Chains A and B, each alone.
Chain A
Amino acid sequence: MWVRFVGRRLWQTAPVLIGVSLIVFLTMHLTPGDPIEHMLGRAGSVTRAQIEELRAHYALDRPLPTQYALFLGKAVTGDFGPSYSQGRPVVEVITERLPATLELTLFAFVIALAVAIPAGALAALRPHRLFDRTATVVALLGVSMPGFWLGIVLMILLGLRLHWLPISGRIDWALAPESITGMNTVDALLAGDGAALRSALAHLILPAITMAAPMAAMVTRMVRSSMIGVLGQDFVQFARARGLPEWRVVGKHALRNALVPTVNIVAIQTGMLLSGNMVIEAVFQYPGIGKLAVDAIAAADYPLVQAVVLLYAVSYVGLNLAADGIQAVLDPRVREARA
C-alpha cells in the first residue's frame, strides 16, 4: 500500500513537471530577439559564420521538439548555459545565492509556525473572546496586506525611525564570517563569532517577519478552526474525564490531532512563501534567489530567469509532495483515500 501511495503520487507529479518545463522552455522561445545576439551582447564584430556556428552549437537550428528534449536533458543535469548578464554558468550563479534564500525562508517558516500554532490554539480555547478577536483581526490584516508594503512600513518604523534594525543586506560586511555553508548564521555559529551572529540575525529579522506574515495568518486561522473542531470531540472529553490536566488534554491530545489537517495548509503556504520570496528580497535588497530573479528579468537574462523559475516550480511541487507524504504518515485515512 505504501509503495502504491508513493508511486501514484510521483506519477501524478510527472505531468506537472513536464508542464512546467514546457512552459519555461516555450517562454524562452517567445522572447523577443535572438538568444545568440543576447549571448554575444556587445561583443563587437562577429562574423556570420561565427553566429551560425554558435547557433548549431546550441542546437537552435533544430526543430522545436528536438530543442525541448535537449533542454530537458540539460536541465536535469543542471546545465542551463551561460547567464547573459554575468557571463558565468547559470548554475554557478544560482548556487552562490541559494544559501541566502534558504536561510531566509527557513527563518520565515519557523517564525510563521512559532506564532501561528500557539496563537491558533489559544484563540480556539476561548472562541469569540478578546484574544480570539484580536488574532482574527491581525490574521485578516496579514492576508490583506501586500508583502512589499508591509516590508517598507517595517523598514520605515523599526529601521529608520527607531534605528533598531538594519533595513537591507544580509550582514555587516566587516563582520562576515568565512563561508562554509553560505548561511551566515550557521557560519557564524561554526566560527563561534557572536558579533557576526548578531549582525546576521538582525539583518534577517525584518525580511523574515515580512515573508512570514501571510503564512502565519493563514495557518493561525486553520489551526484555530481545526482546534475548535477537535476540542468538541469525544476523545477530548474522555481525556478530560480521565482527570488529565488541561494542558495535557489541550497540548497533547487535542493539538496533535488538530495539526494533521494543518499540514496541507502549511505546505501550500510554504509554496506561497517561495512566491513571496521574490518580492520580499527585492524590497530588502536581500541578495538571494528572489532578487537574482528580479534583476535577471530587468537585464533580460533569460537563461537565468528560466532556471530560477524552474527551481521555484520544482521546490513548490516537492513541497506539495512532502505534505502529502507527511499527512499520510500522520493519518492512515489519507493514505487509503489517495492510494
Chain B
Amino acid sequence: MAATQTQPVGANPGVRPIDARPGTLKLLLANRVAVGAGLVTLGFVLVALLAPMLSPYNPAEQHPEAIRVPPFWSPGGSTRFLLGTDGLGRDLLSRILFGSRVSILLGVVVVLLTLVVGACLGMLAGYYRGWVDTLLSRVVDTLLAFPFLIFALAIMAVTGPNLVALVLALAFKGWVDFFRVARGDVLAARESEYVLAARGVGASNAYILFGEILPNIVPPLIVLAALRMATVIIAEASLSFLGIGVPPRIPAWGTMVADGRGSIATAWWIATFPGLAILLLVLSVNLLGEGLRDALDPRMRR
C-alpha cells in the first residue's frame, strides 16, 4: 500500500494510521450501492439471529395436508404459507429464514479462521523472510495449484455431511489468499520510513509488526475477507446441493435447492426461492466488498 509510505517520518505511534486517512467512512457512505448492499447484508444477519422469532413455522414441521402448496400469489396458494411449501409440506419461508443461519455462520467462521491463520503466517513470512518465508511460500504455491472445490469434495466424500469437516474443507485453501496479501504488504512496509523510524527509536519487532505495520495492512485484508465470504457461501451451498455439505437435518439453502430439483416441473418455487436467497446474499456481500475496496483505496476505484 503506497498510502502507508506517505506517513510523515516519526508519525506519532499513538495515532493509528488507518484513522489518519480522512474520510474512509464518508467515502463508503457516499457510495449508495455499497450502503444498500451493506443494509441488505445486515438484514440477512438480523434474519439469521432472529430466525426463530421471524419464522411463521418450525422449519422442520411437516404439514401432510399441504404438500407443494404454491406461493400465495399463485393460483392455489394461500397466505398461510407465503412462499409455499416443499415436498414434505414444510413452510418454505421458514426454511429459507432458518437457512440463512448456516450460510452466514459458516461464512463467518471460515473467513475468520482463514483470515487469522493466513494473515499471521503472511506477516511472519514477510517480516522475518528467511527459511520460514521460503517454506511457507512453497506450501502456498502448491496449494494454489489445487482445484479447491474438488478437494473439498474429496474430503466431504469421505467424512460425509459434517459441519466440522465442512469448515476445514472450506478453510483448507482459503488462508492462502490472506497469506499472499499480508506477506506482500508487510514486505513493502518493512522498508518504509515509519517502520525505519520506529526501529530507530528502539521499538521491538513485535511492536513494529503488530503496533505499526498491522494497522496499515488491515484495509486490504478486510476487503479480501468480504470477497472471500461470498466465495465461501457459494462453495458451501454447492457442496450442500451435492448432498455432501451441511447435514440434511439443518436447513441449508443448497440442500433446499437440491430438494426442489426433482419437482421443478410441478413446483418451481421449491428450488427457486432458496437459490434467490443465496444470490441476494452473495451479491450484497460482493458489492459491499467492492464498496469497501473503493472507499479504503480510492486509487482502485474503477
List residues of chain A with CB under 8 Å of any chain B CB.
12-13, 15-16, 19-20, 23-24, 27-28, 30-31, 140-141, 143-149, 152-153, 155-156, 160, 225, 271-272, 274-276, 278-279, 282-283, 293-294, 297-298, 302, 305, 309, 312-313, 316-317, 320
What are 28 A-B pairs at a CB distance below 8 A? A15-B142, A16-B142, A24-B154, A140-B283, A141-B283, A143-B286, A144-B282, A144-B286, A145-B279, A145-B282, A146-B237, A146-B275, A147-B238, A149-B272, A149-B276, A149-B278, A152-B260, A152-B271, A156-B272, A275-B149, A278-B242, A297-B157, A298-B243, A302-B158, A309-B153, A313-B150, A316-B146, A316-B147
In the complex, which residues of chain B have a beta carbon less than 8 angstroms from the beta carbon of A309? 150-151, 153-154
> Does B57 reach chain A (CB closer than 8 Å)?
no
Q: Are A278 and B261 in contact (CB under 8 A)?
A: no
Q: Which single residue of chain B is at the shortest CB-CB distance from A17?
A: B145
In the complex, which residues of chain A have a beta carbon less than 8 angstroms from the beta carbon of B145? 13, 16, 316-317, 320
In the complex, which residues of chain B have a beta carbon less than 8 angstroms from the beta carbon of A283? 261
A9 to B279, CA, bound (A): 38
Contacts known (A15-B142, A152-B272); A279 close to B150, Cβ less than 8 A: no
> Does B155 reach chain A (CB closer than 8 Å)?
yes
Q: Are B142 and A31 in contact (CB under 8 A)?
A: no
A12 to B276, CA, bound (A): 42
In the complex, which residues of chain A have a beta carbon less than 8 angstroms from the beta carbon of B260? 152
Q: Are A160 and B265 in contact (CB under 8 A)?
A: yes
A283 to B237, CA, bound (A): 13
Q: Are A149 and B150 in contact (CB under 8 A)?
A: no
A15 to B143, CA, bound (A): 10
A156 to B265, CA, bound (A): 7
Q: Which single residue of chain A is at the shortest CB-CB distance from B285?
A: A144
Q: Are B154 and A27 in contact (CB under 8 A)?
A: yes
Q: Which single residue of chain B is at the shortest CB-CB distance from A149?
A: B275
Q: Mark B251-273, 1 if CB is under 8 A from A, else 0.
A: 00010011011001100100110
Give the B interface residue count (CB, 8 A): 43
In the complex, which residues of chain B have a beta carbon less than 8 angstroms from the beta carbon of A293? 153
Q: Are B146 and A16 in contact (CB under 8 A)?
A: yes
Q: Are A155 and B278 in contact (CB under 8 A)?
A: no
Cβ of A145 to closest chain B Cβ, rounded Å: 5
Q: Which single residue of chain B is at the shortest CB-CB distance from A136?
A: B302
Select A144's contact among B148, B153, B243, B279, beta carbons within 8 Å. Answer: B279
Q: Which single residue of chain B is at the shortest CB-CB distance from A293?
A: B153
Q: Are B238 and A148 in contact (CB under 8 A)?
A: yes
Cβ of A114 to closest chain B Cβ, rounded Å: 24
Task: Name the residue among A19, A28, A149, A279 with the largest chain B CB count within 10 angstroms.
Answer: A149
Q: Are B286 and A148 in contact (CB under 8 A)?
A: no
Q: Are A146 and B272 in contact (CB under 8 A)?
A: no
Q: Are B261 and A31 in contact (CB under 8 A)?
A: no
Q: Are B271 and A279 in contact (CB under 8 A)?
A: no
Select A278's contact among B148, B153, B258, beta carbons within 8 Å. Answer: B153
**Chain B 232-250 interface residues, beta-carbon cutoff 8 Å to A:** 234, 237-238, 241-244
> Does B138 reach chain A (CB closer than 8 Å)?
yes
> Does B191 reach chain A (CB closer than 8 Å)?
no
A16 to B146, CA, bound (A): 8
**Chain B 87-109 interface residues, beta-carbon cutoff 8 Å to A:** none
Select B154's contact among A156, A272, A305, beta carbons within 8 Å. Answer: A305
> Does B230 reach chain A (CB closer than 8 Å)?
yes
In the complex, which residues of chain A have a beta carbon less than 8 angstroms from the beta carbon of B302? 225
> Does B287 reach chain A (CB closer than 8 Å)?
yes
A294 to B241, CA, bound (A): 11
Q: Are B282 and A312 in contact (CB under 8 A)?
A: no
> Does B141 reach chain A (CB closer than 8 Å)?
yes
Q: Are A156 and B242 in contact (CB under 8 A)?
A: no
In the complex, which residues of chain A have a beta carbon less than 8 angstroms from the beta carbon of B272? 149, 152-153, 156
In the complex, which residues of chain A have a beta carbon less than 8 angstroms from the beta carbon of B287? 140
Contacts known (A275-B147, A309-B153); A146 close to B261, Cβ less than 8 A: no
In the complex, which residues of chain B have a beta carbon less than 8 angstroms from the beta carbon of A279? 238, 241-242
Cβ of B8 to closest chain A Cβ, rounded Å: 32
Select B146's contact among A27, A147, A276, A313, beta carbons within 8 Å. Answer: A313
A278 to B264, CA, bound (A): 20
In the complex, which residues of chain B have a beta carbon less than 8 angstroms from the beta carbon of A316? 145-147, 150
Q: Which single residue of chain A is at the shortest CB-CB distance from B280?
A: A144
Select B158's contact among A16, A27, A146, beta carbons within 8 Å. Answer: A27
Cβ of A183 to closest chain B Cβ, rounded Å: 23
Contacts known (A16-B145, A149-B275, A275-B150); A140 close to B238, Cβ less than 8 A: no
Q: Which single residue of chain B is at the shortest CB-CB distance from A224?
A: B302
Cβ of B240 to closest chain A Cβ, rounded Å: 10
Contacts known (A15-B138, A27-B155, A282-B242); A312 close to B279, Cβ less than 8 A: no
Cβ of B33 to closest chain A Cβ, rounded Å: 10
Q: Are B158 and A31 in contact (CB under 8 A)?
A: yes
A278 to B239, CA, bound (A): 10
In the complex, which residues of chain B have a beta carbon less than 8 angstroms from the beta carbon of A312? 147, 150
Q: Which single residue of chain A is at the shortest CB-CB distance from B244?
A: A297
Q: Which single residue of chain A is at the shortest CB-CB distance from B265?
A: A160
Q: Are A152 and B257 in contact (CB under 8 A)?
A: yes
Select A20's contact among B146, B153, B283, beta carbons within 8 Å. Answer: B146
In the complex, which residues of chain B have a beta carbon less than 8 angstroms from the beta carbon of A15? 138, 142
Given A19-B146, A144-B234, 16 more A-B residue pairs with CB atoms under 8 Å apart are A15-B142, A27-B154, A141-B283, A146-B241, A146-B254, A148-B257, A148-B258, A149-B278, A149-B279, A160-B268, A274-B150, A276-B149, A293-B153, A297-B242, A313-B150, A316-B147
Q: Which single residue of chain B is at the shortest CB-CB distance from A31?
A: B158
A267 to B75, CA, bound (A): 48
Q: Which single residue of chain A is at the shortest CB-CB distance from B155?
A: A27
Q: Are B238 and A146 in contact (CB under 8 A)?
A: yes
Q: Are B157 and A305 in contact (CB under 8 A)?
A: yes
Q: Which single residue of chain A is at the shortest CB-CB distance from B154?
A: A309
Q: Which single residue of chain A is at the shortest CB-CB distance from B279?
A: A145
Contacts known (A149-B275, A149-B278, A297-B157); A155 close to B257, Cβ less than 8 A: no
